């Protein structure tokens, strides 16, 4: 796991860059208590480790 700080970004792009799979944006969102993939202002995020087997894009019910 690592920590990054971004300014006005979105979780799709961050997941694509950090996890190599934009559909895994939900993993970042859940880890950081977020529901909206669009970020405003300065945000510090925990980024999970890369997991090629992780499903993506759908929140746990």
Summarize pLDDT for 2-50 with one digit per residue, the tens: 999 999 999 999 999 999 999 999 999 999 999 999 999 999 999 999 9
Does the residue 20 lie in any domain? yes
Does the residue 53 lie in any domain? no
Question: What range does the domain containing 28 cover?
Answer: 2-47
Does the residue 14 lie in any domain? yes
Does the residue 28 lie in any domain? yes
Does the residue 59 lie in any domain? no
pLDDT at position 48 is 97
Higher pLDDT, 1 or 54: 1
Q: How many domains does the chain have?
A: 1
* SS3 state at 27: helix
Question: By the 8 A CB rule, do 4 and 19 touch?
Answer: no
The token pair at 11 is 């979780």
Does the residue 23 lie in any domain? yes
Does the residue 9 lie in any domain? yes
Cα-Cα-Cα-Cα torsion 20, 21, 24, 28, nearest 10 degrees, comes to 30
pTM > 0.85: yes or no: yes
């Amino acid at each position: 796991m690592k920590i990054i700080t971004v300014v006005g970004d979105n979780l799709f792009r961050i997941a694509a860059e950090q996890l190599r799979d934009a559909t895994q944006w939900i993993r970042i969102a859940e880890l950081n208590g977020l529901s909206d993939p669009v970020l405003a202002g300065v945000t510090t995020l925990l980024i999970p480790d890369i997991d090629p087997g992780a499903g993506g894009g759908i929140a746990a019910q």
